[in-house]
A and B are shown apart, each in its own frame.
Chain A
Amino acid sequence: MQFCSLSFLYMFLPMSVMLFYAVPTHRRNLVLLAISLIFYSMADNMWLVVLLLSICFDYVMAGLLEDYKSSQKYSRIIFLIFAAKEILMIIWCDMMHQLRGMPIPVGLYVYTLTSLGYITDLYKGKIEKKDSIVDFALLCCFFGKIFAGPLVDGRDFIDQLNAKKRSLSTMGEGVVIFVRGFAKQAILAAGMHEVYEQLQMLNDGQITVLSVWLLMISYTFSLYYALSGFCDMARGLGKMFGLELPRNFYYPFQSRTVQDFFSRFNITYVEFLKKYVTNPLGREYGGFWTYASSTLLLNVLTGFWFGINLNNLAWGIYFTVFILIEKYVLFRWIPKIPPMFLRLYTFVIVMLSFTIFAGENLAQTAEYLNAMFGVGGMPFSNNSLLYIIAQHWAVILLSFIFATSITEKVNRFLNKYTPALSNVLSVVMNVMVLVTATALVV
């Protein structure tokens, strides 16, 4: 079961919401956990046992950590065993996926890293006492965020679970965010994926410089809208059940620098890495080499979110080079350059980086790069490309528009000067978007 499937939208979701609000308040977390496990079993029943075993193991470790809190030696051993289990589980699944084609368990990164963060906080004393197994399990596998995050802070999430801050207007806010995420997935991600597929089907004689640029743009946008759609739907679902989940993408394609891009793209994962990996290494306070090595580590691990392989390693190295150049060479000029040029520069750098992601190996990445710069006398454009653009001009245009904050600004403007109109428009637009997105998945 996927978020964009009819079975989820028009059966599972309404039933879950009704059931959740029908039970007494003190039973709701238990019900939400049951809903999450049913959802997981319908999304990936093959790995449900692994999820349950992992949660139980982690909870036992949390208990042991609490019991041996007074002994630094034992608590360190327990923590290391726990951390090794989480990291090895990720690496093993990823390797088995690459070597034997074994599917990666749904939400593996989300539940292992969430648990890792929680127990690290417990180990470091930032969380004083372990929570109930129901709360801990919900922290790891709340169905809204299981697909692609966002990663949440354990303490904050569990506090919200028990705060019982639920109302019809919070649900309304959730609906708006959820519908936005659904539209990103069903309209923009699917639309750009179609563009990508059509461009990929072009034969050698039909490939042009512009078609490879569009190939990269469509690949990047389809990935971005799919991920950010998942996260918006997660945030919306969270609100429907009274939980405030953090924003995971904040218009990354209007970043002014590469460093800025990393503060807007997959935000909660990057923050997680900073908090638990690079900041303890003294990234912010060390000299050049400390900063360079920890930035490299941060970027490589960011790339590994999408799979542990050579291309994603290269992706991390690529960005590290630009971040270091920006910090140590361009820092004097950056404030003087008009924002539009900075955005264009970052957009191009980011697009070029996706040749590494899109390529099956580095040789293919090199082919993409050669084609993008017309190496080998490749034509600039042709009729095949124009046909594809004519077929998908609307979705391409919308993808660019919604990658910027223009609509948010328009909304804010309307809200300020004509709040009633803005609210009515918002309701109407949301219903229209929901109907359109539903039509596209029927």
Chain B
Amino acid sequence: MTMYKRITAILFMALIMFLTTGTLGKGLLSFQTLSDSTNVPFHERFENFISSNFPFSDRFKSFAIRIKRVGGTSMQKGVFIGDDILLENTSPPADLLVKRNVEKMLEFANDSAVPVYAMIIPEKCAVKQQEIPNAEYVQLFNQKDFIEQVGDAFSGKISMVDAYFPLFLNQDKYIYYRTDPRLTSLGAYYVYQTLASRLNVRAPDITRYTIQHTSHDFYGETYDRFPLSDVEPDVISLYHLRSERSVKVKHNTPEEQIYDTLYPNKENANPIDVYLGGNSGDIELRANVNSAPNRTLLVFGDDSMMPILPFLSANFDEIRFIDLSKVDESDIFSVDVFYYDQVLFAYSVETFAHTSVPSRIEFS
């Protein structure tokens, strides 16, 4: 009996010492330091140091998810764990925020006298409901109803673009990343098709695009929280329109980056950074579409619009993309709305229902 107690003590100490040494070793190798001069209390910095350097943390997390799944839990911390997909749940909207967002957009539409369109892109869990375990018992926030209600609130002053329907029609296809909440390029194409028809332009057929797969091992931000090895990595695909046109992408940032391709950072692991070189908050996209007269589009949107913008370059000579969460008020005022033929507001349900970003719009 005593021998087993001793073995238990030795095993316990050996296990925790092994993990302690591993943590310290990893921490030292990563040159992470605790003597930070920030205002974060020491015990929090200490905890962060241990957590971020804990050995095998991905394996431990994966093991915890499996254990919980065995115990019946298919939804953890707001994420549904499907067989081969992680689906982020979206909570019901913050009514006051939504009301304010709608009011400010209507004010803008009334003042601008330019045709204004709005598109709210549904989140993965609304479109790929069939992937949610025991979906029939889950009380999901009805994003389709929400989008329709917002459309009704615009009462014809802003034309609503229905992004839900094309995605729902193609729900069995690879339209959302498995490990990330965002649309794939294919999903973006389907949304673009509907958007193009509402903006009175013609979307090229999908066969006119050359598809380039730049990465086969992309793991998105949801996977970082739920590193479940059952979920396959994602593929990042880029769609190149076979045409003679040339494009120029300009980021209106202090560094003022200019690219002559739609996908400047192909080697980047994050798809948002691949499209147009990343969301810097203020991007101008010029293409020699040779439309007569020149067609111009002003887009106020968020990250969810990034995979769609390259497609729009097939129809517009000039597109200006502004992410209101990333620019100052003075930048917003400096935008000459009358220069553009059409204005589009494009947000994900998450941004529109839970943030005040859309309400930052001001008419200049």
Contact residues of A with B, CB < 8 Å? 1, 5-7, 9-11, 13-15, 17, 42-43, 45, 168-176, 179, 191, 206, 383-384, 386-387, 390-395, 419, 423-424, 426-427, 430-431, 434-436, 438-440, 442
Contacts and interface: CB of A to CB of B under 8 A. Distances in A.
Contact of B17 (A14, A176, A423): A14
A6 B60 CA distance: 12
B301 to A, nearest CB: 31
Interface stretch (B42-50, B121-129, B158-166, B327-335): B42-50
24 contacts: A1-B43, A6-B54, A7-B43, A7-B47, A7-B50, A168-B10, A171-B9, A172-B6, A172-B7, A175-B12, A179-B12, A206-B139, A383-B136, A384-B137, A384-B139, A387-B134, A393-B71, A393-B72, A423-B4, A427-B8, A430-B11, A439-B63, A442-B61, A442-B64
B19 A442 contact: no
User: Most chain-B CB neighbours within 10 Å: which of A10, A386, A394, A427?
Assistant: A10
Given A10-B50, A45-B43, A175 B8 contact: yes
Contacts of A9: 16
Given A391-B75, A394-B71, A5 B47 contact: yes
B1 A419 contact: yes
Contact of A175 (B9, B57, B61, B64): B9
B335 to A, nearest CB: 41
A440 B23 contact: no
Task: Give the interface size class of chain B.
Answer: 35 or more
B222 interface: no
Given A383-B137, A439-B60, A424 B11 contact: no
Nearest to B61: A442
Majority SS of interface residues in chain A?
Answer: helix
B15 interface: yes
Interface in B49-72: 49-51, 54, 57, 60-61, 63-64, 67, 70-72
Contacts of A174: 9
Contact of A391 (B9, B61, B63, B72): B72
A1 B71 contact: no
B9 A434 contact: no
Contacts of A435: 15, 63
Given A169-B2, A179-B12, A394-B70, A442 B137 contact: no
A375 B6 CA distance: 57
B9 A168 contact: yes
B82 to A, nearest CB: 14
A13 B16 contact: yes
Contacts of B139: 206, 384, 387
A383 B134 CA distance: 11
A14 B8 CA distance: 15
Contacts of B64: 436, 439-440, 442
B12 A434 contact: yes
A172 B5 contact: yes
A17 B13 contact: yes
A395 B73 CA distance: 10
A387 B138 contact: yes
B57 to A, nearest CB: 5
Contacts of B50: 5-7, 10-11
Contacts of A430: 8, 11-12
